């Protein structure tokens, strides 16, 4: 089938001559299909085999087949609900076609005597074999010569329109070679086809190919697409790193404070009530070395829950203020920001450092005072939430930006914080922190533009946490265990996934749990904390729990990070099967911070019968098997894949659409070797390759 002609080389054919975009074109925009190459690279989710007719007698239950048959019976039935039931006979056997959602046109096309071509999954039904909601059309006409592609789409964009637009874009797209011939197949397990050959095949695969190799993306044509995509990612990351290396930042050299014999950094080290671990000392030295260069630091500090990242950040801030510059620390939630604020004040205020506090919930007077301190430079350190990046916040001389739980911020927000520095075109140093360790394959791909520092040991004194998976039918036993902890003077968290009733999701909510625990634990003060509470109310509840006045805190995941109460020794997580593995690990990390033995109970819902799916079971098993955040991260990546694992980073650095880091490590290694060669020797090809795959999105790699 030849592609339709188009008057514009940049738009799908229907766009020609229209003053306004049609609904289909708006839908194409929504999918990001604006250029011919975007259409060419919009690959099928799956394929339908319409190239052959199968006799019903030869079809097995569970097979998806195409039959050609005559309608022998058609009726509307109303039990158990209104549906259209059509019986067809192909001469070898009969089959019932069942439609629950249908239109009058369906009834007309499927009237008795009509001969139809039907495609669907054969099932063994109560009244014989059936197909539920199969595709159908009038019989006759030639069979397609290739598998029929089924593309990812959105509402308002039919497959037929999308297929024509894709073929049209494929015909017009510039698919000239961007890979250097000498390196095309160097160090690869199998030779690569040309990009045009690979795309033409994947959009129109011939029926002599096994469908499985297309759907699991192991076919050689897929290898070319994966190799191109991984190379584009590596090129853009390396290019971003080199662009940053050409920028300038303040070199934060040591200065002895007036009236003292040592630097602020040295004074802070002396006043800490604990000794740094070897890992903290190592990563601190890595950060110090970066800060003393006039090239912007772009470093990710990763460490497990409770590994002591905050003190490393405080020492980096001290190094910045030693040199006479300001530092800003931004956290995603007010609870986490306040936790940092309190720790930093306790360490830095005795050394004469003023710290400004900025959140959206501040009173106008407090905010004005904080803004004045920041603009004048009186505040050497600024701690806050997203409020730190608002337009009214003007720094006197920002040189270091620290972002905690960086994956929970969008790229635009990270860029906005970096833009707060205005001195002489210089860039601030950037330190990003995460308690979700990054598996090695992700660090090699999505974080290739970053230097990574890892705190791989916990401070002494952290107690192991016993993790138990318990069915919610044993809730009374859990409550009894809470009584035992309270009797020993300990405190308890109980985490729920919802705040109030939802008809669509059968979950026990936090409000009900609060009432139930209050009734079950007379004489114990039980508090409630959730994200919809006013900030002052949240602050008051947390203050009561921190001081020990609340025995039990019922909460949503607002306590996932930033809550540090050493006396809390038991964590109960309601409907644990609904949480992600990384989130479960973060929540578990709220206990085990004191000397007392600690436990985490993962309550899962059973209802009338166990409902744990395979993925949920794998998550809960991982929680029981290990407390190692790096192992948790590795299993989380296996379970969820990189897209979900990386969270908000996908709003900037483009995720891989085709390559799979778990199976395509050889292609990733090839791309990592080729990327610097292309930038050094084939700059024009590298530029074209990045433009082809990323368009304007590579700009976000700056964050």
- The per-residue pLDDT for 609 is 44
Comparing 40-54, 235-249, 250-264, the range with the smallest average pLDDT is 250-264
Mean pLDDT in residue range 429-449: 77
Question: Any idea which residue has 């309270």 for tokens?
Answer: 486
Percentage of the chain exceeding pLDDT 70: 86
Q: What local confidence, expressed as pLDDT, does residue 429 receive?
A: 92
Which range, 76-90, 532-546, 551-565, is most confident? 76-90
pLDDT in tens, 247-265: 899 999 876 555 556 788 8
pLDDT band at 407 (very low <50, low <70, confident <90, very high): low
Least confident of 50-64, 211-225, 333-347: 333-347
Flag whether pLDDT at 269 surpasses 80: yes
Q: What is the pTM of this model?
A: 0.71
User: What is the pLDDT, as a whole number, of residue 533?
Assistant: 83
Beta bridge partners of 603: 470
Cα(12)–Cα(152) distance, rounded to whole angstroms?
17
Q: Give the per-residue pLDDT at 258.
A: 56
Cα gap 52→662, rounded to integer Å = 35
**What's the confidence (pLDDT) of residue 122?**
93
The pLDDT tens digits of the residues spanning 450-505 come to: 788 999 887 776 778 899 999 888 999 999 999 999 999 999 999 988 656 554 45
What tens digit of pLDDT does each residue of 552-611 get? 999 887 775 557 788 999 999 998 888 888 888 888 988 887 778 899 999 988 764 445
Give residues with Cβ within 8 angstroms of 220, minimum separation 6. 190, 192, 193, 198
What are the start-end ranges of the H helices in 589-662?
A: 614-625, 629-640, 642-645
> What pLDDT is stored for residue 379 in this prediction?
93
Across 9-23, 226-240, 269-283, 352-366, least confident range: 9-23
Give tens-digit pLDDT for 672-697: 999 999 999 999 999 999 999 987 55
Domains of the chain in sequence order? 13-47+146-215 (no CATH), 60-138 (2.40.50.140), 264-455 (3.40.50.300), 465-626 (3.40.50.300)
Nearest to 546 by CA among 585, 594, 609: 594
- Reading the block at residue 211, the tokens are 């469908």
Name the pLDDT band for 612 (thresholds 50, 70, 90): low
User: What does the pLDDT average to over 369-378?
Assistant: 92
What does the pLDDT look like over 296-308, one tens digit per residue?
998 989 888 778 8
* Spatial CB neighbours of 487, under 8 Å, sequence gap ≥ 6: none
Question: Which of 2-11, 125-134, 638-647 is least confident?
Answer: 2-11
Alpha-carbon distance of 640 to 473, in angstroms, equals 28
Give the DSSP letter of residue 697: G
- For all residues of the chain together, what is the average pLDDT? 84
Residue with tokens 């700009």: 699
- Lowest-confidence range among 259-268, 400-409, 494-503, 610-619? 494-503
CB neighbour list of residue 469: distance below 8 Å, 6 or more residues apart: 576, 602, 604, 620, 623, 624
Choose between 550 and 419: higher pLDDT: 550
pLDDT band at 371 (very low <50, low <70, confident <90, very high): very high
The pLDDT tens digits for 333-363 are 787 788 788 888 889 888 889 999 988 878 8
Q: What is the pLDDT of residue 422?
A: 59
Start-to-end CA span in the chain (Å): 44
């Amino acid at each position: 089938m030849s592609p339709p002609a188009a008057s514009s080389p940049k738009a799908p054919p229907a766009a020609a001559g229209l003053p306004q975009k049609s609904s289909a074109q708006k839908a194409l925009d929504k999918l990001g299909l604006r250029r011919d190459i975007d259409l060419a690279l919009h690959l099928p989710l799956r394929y339908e085999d319409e190239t052959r007719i199968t006799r019903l007698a030869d079809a097995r239950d569970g097979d998806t087949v195409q039959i050609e048959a005559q309608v022998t019976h058609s009726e509307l039935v109303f039990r158990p609900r209104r549906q259209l039931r059509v019986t067809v006979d192909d001469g070898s056997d009969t089959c019932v076609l069942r439609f629950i959602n249908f239109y009058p046109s369906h009834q007309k096309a499927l009237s008795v005597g009509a001969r139809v071509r039907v495609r669907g999954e054969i099932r063994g039904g109560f009244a014989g074999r059936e197909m539920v909601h199969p595709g159908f059309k009038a019989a006759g006409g030639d069979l397609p010569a290739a598998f029929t592609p089924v593309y990812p789409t959105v509402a308002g964009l039919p497959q037929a329109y999308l297929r024509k637009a894709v073929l049209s874009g494929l015909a017009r797209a510039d698919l000239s070679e961007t890979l250097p011939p000498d390196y095309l197949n160097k160090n690869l397990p199998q030779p690569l086809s040309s990009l045009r050959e690979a795309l033409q095949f994947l959009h129109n695969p011939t029926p002599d190919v096994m469908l499985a190799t297309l759907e699991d993306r192991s076919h050689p044509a897929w290898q070319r697409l994966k190799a191109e995509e991984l190379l584009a990612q590596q090129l853009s990351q390396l290019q971003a790193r080199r662009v940053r290396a050409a920028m300038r930042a303040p070199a934060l050299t040591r200065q002895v404070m007036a009236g003292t014999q040592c630097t602020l950094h040295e004074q802070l080290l002396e006043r800490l009530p604990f000794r740094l671990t070897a890992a903290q000392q190592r990563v601190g030295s890595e950060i110090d070395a970066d800060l003393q260069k006039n090239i912007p630091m772009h470093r990710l500090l990763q460490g497990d829950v409770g590994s002591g990242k905050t003190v490393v950040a405080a020492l980096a801030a001290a190094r910045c203020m030693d040199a006479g510059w300001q530092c800003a620390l931004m956290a995603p939630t007010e609870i986490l920001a306040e936790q940092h604020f309190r720790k930093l004040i306790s360490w830095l205020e005795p050394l004469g450092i003023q710290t400004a506090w900025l959140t959206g919930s501040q009173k106008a007077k407090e905010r004005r005072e904080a803004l004045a301190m920041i603009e004048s430079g009186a505040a050497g350190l600024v701690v806050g939430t997203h409020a730190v990046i608002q337009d009214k916040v003007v720094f006197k001389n920002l040189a270091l930006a620290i972002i905690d739980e960086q994956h929970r911020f969008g790229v635009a927000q990270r860029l906005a914080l970096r833009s707060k520095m205005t001195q002489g075109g210089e860039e601030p140093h950037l330190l990003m922190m995460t308690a979700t360790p990054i598996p090695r394959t992700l660090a090699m791909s999505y974080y290739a533009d970053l230097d990574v520092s890892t705190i791989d040991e916990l401070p002494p004194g952290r107690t192991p946490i016993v993790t138990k998976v318990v069915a919610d039918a044993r809730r009374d036993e859990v409550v009894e265990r809470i009584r035992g902890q309270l009797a020993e003077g300990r405190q308890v968290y109980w985490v729920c996934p919802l705040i109030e009733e939802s008809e669509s999701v059968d979950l026990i909510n936090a409000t009900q749990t609060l009432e139930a625990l209050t009734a079950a634990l007379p004489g114990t003060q039980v508090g409630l904390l959730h994200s919809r509470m006013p900030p002052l109310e949240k602050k008051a509840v947390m203050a009561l729990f921190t001081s020990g006045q609340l025995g039990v805190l019922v909460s949503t995941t607002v306590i996932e990070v930033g809550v540090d109460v050493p006396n809390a020794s038991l964590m109960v997580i309601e409907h644990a099967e609904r949480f992600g593995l990384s989130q479960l690990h973060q929540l578990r990390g709220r206990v085990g911070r004191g000397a007392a033995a600690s436990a985490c109970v993962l309550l899962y819902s059973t209802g009338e019968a166990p409902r744990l799916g395979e993925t949920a079971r794998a998550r809960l098993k991982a929680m029981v098997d290990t407390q190692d955040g790096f192992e948790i991260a590795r299993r989380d990546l296996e379970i969820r894949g990189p897209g979900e694992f990386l969270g908000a980073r996908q709003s900037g650095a483009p995720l891989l659409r085709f390559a799979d880091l778990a199976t395509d490590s050889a292609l990733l290694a090839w791309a990592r070797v080729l990327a610097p060669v292309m930038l050094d020797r084939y700059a024009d090809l590298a530029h074209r390759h990045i433009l082809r795959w990323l368009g304007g999105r590579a700009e976000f790699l700056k964050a």
